[in-house]
């Protein structure tokens, strides 16, 4: 899997993810009426052990919003938050409103729905792709279980995995969250061929 993509192809994929993530950051900025910055997206091949060492320990309890995509970019988006990230985001979203667990989770789902759809729409327009998104679903589990399940659901059975991750800062404060894209097999090759 290490030689699956050339450096040039990875640059192309990074630019595509950058376009989608930048569009999502703009929509988030308008929604919150605050400055939103996005770190240069991560596109890197890692073993599961390295992911759990460098990104987050496998046994960390997280909340994750899952959105399935179909069409020319079939796969799954995962918006992963630890406890601090969930609290920061819900405090921001529900400022001035009475907060409950159900309302907080619903607000986060709607936020991720907006992020992902703006992300997908930008890529679809740029590459003239047909992409559909499903309804968001929130769950809580260990990070390792959620990530492993996501890759298996998308028919990714390799010992290593490609990590596509975007991170966002709200007025220079990093939210403890990351947006991941888990593609189905051969989807990345199709995207690269569209750019060619």
Q: How many domains does the chain have?
A: 1
> Which of 2-6, 17-21, 92-96 is predicted with the least confidence, judged by mean pLDDT?
2-6
Q: Which residues 6+ apart lie within 8 Å of 90 measured at CB? A: 99, 104, 107, 108
Structure-block tokens of residue 19: 């376009």
CA terminus-to-terminus distance, the chain? 22
Highest mean pLDDT pick, 14-23, 128-137, 170-179: 128-137
CA distances 165 to 41, 94, 128, 139, Å, are: 6, 26, 23, 19
Tens of pLDDT, residues 122-162: 888 888 889 999 999 999 999 999 999 988 888 877 777 77
Output DSSP code: residue 98. -
Q: What single string gives the DSSP state of each residue in 147-196?
A: HHHHHHHTT---SEEEEEEE-EEETTEE-SEEEEEEEPTTHHHHHHHHH-
Q: What single string gives the DSSP state of each residue in 7-32?
A: HHHHHHHHHHHHHHHHHHHHHHHHHH
Q: Which residues 6+ apart lie within 8 Å of 24 measured at CB? A: 38, 114, 115, 116, 118, 119, 122, 166, 179
Establish if 63 belongs to a structural domain: yes
What CATH number did the domain enclosing 19 receive? 3.40.1550.10
Q: What is the mean pLDDT of the chain?
A: 84
Establish if 2 belongs to a structural domain: no
Once rounded to an integer, what is the mean pLDDT over residues 59-78? 92
- Structural contact between residues 67 and 77, judged by C-beta atoms closer than 8 angstroms: yes
Establish if 85 belongs to a structural domain: yes
Establish if 113 belongs to a structural domain: yes
Task: Name the pTM for this structure.
Answer: 0.82
Q: Which domain holds residue 90?
A: 7-195
Establish if 108 belongs to a structural domain: yes
The 3-state DSSP class for residue 77 equals strand
Quick check: 185 pLDDT over 80? no
Establish if 178 belongs to a structural domain: yes
Q: Supply the pLDDT for residue 33.
A: 84
Structure-block tokens of residue 33: 């009426």
Establish if 23 belongs to a structural domain: yes
How many other CB atoms sit within 10 Å of the CB of residue 164?
A: 23
Establish if 39 belongs to a structural domain: yes
Q: Phi and psi for 175 in degrees, rounded to 5?
A: -75, 135
């Amino acid at each position: 899997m290490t030689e699956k993509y050339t450096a040039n192809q990875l640059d192309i994929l990074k630019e595509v993810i950058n376009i989608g993530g930048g569009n999502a950051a703009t929509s988030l900025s308008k929604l919150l009426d605050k400055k939103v910055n996005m770190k240069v997206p991560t596109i890197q091949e890692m073993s599961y052990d390295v992911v759990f060492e460098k990104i987050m320990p496998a046994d960390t309890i997280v909340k994750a919003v899952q959105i399935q995509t179909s069409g020319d970019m079939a796969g799954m988006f995962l918006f992963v938050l630890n406890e601090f990230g969930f609290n920061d985001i819900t405090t921001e979203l529900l400022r001035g409103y009475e907060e409950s667990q159900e309302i907080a989770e619903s607000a986060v789902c709607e936020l991720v729905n907006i992020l992902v759809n703006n992300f997908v729409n930008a890529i679809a327009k740029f590459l003239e792709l047909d992409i559909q998104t499903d309804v968001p679903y929130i769950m809580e589990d260990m990070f390792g279980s959620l990530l492993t399940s996501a890759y298996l659901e998308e028919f990714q059975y390799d010992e290593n995995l490609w990590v596509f991750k975007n991170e966002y800062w709200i007025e220079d404060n990093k939210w403890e969250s990351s947006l991941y894209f888990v593609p189905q097999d051969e989807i990345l090759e199709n995207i690269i061929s569209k750019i060619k």
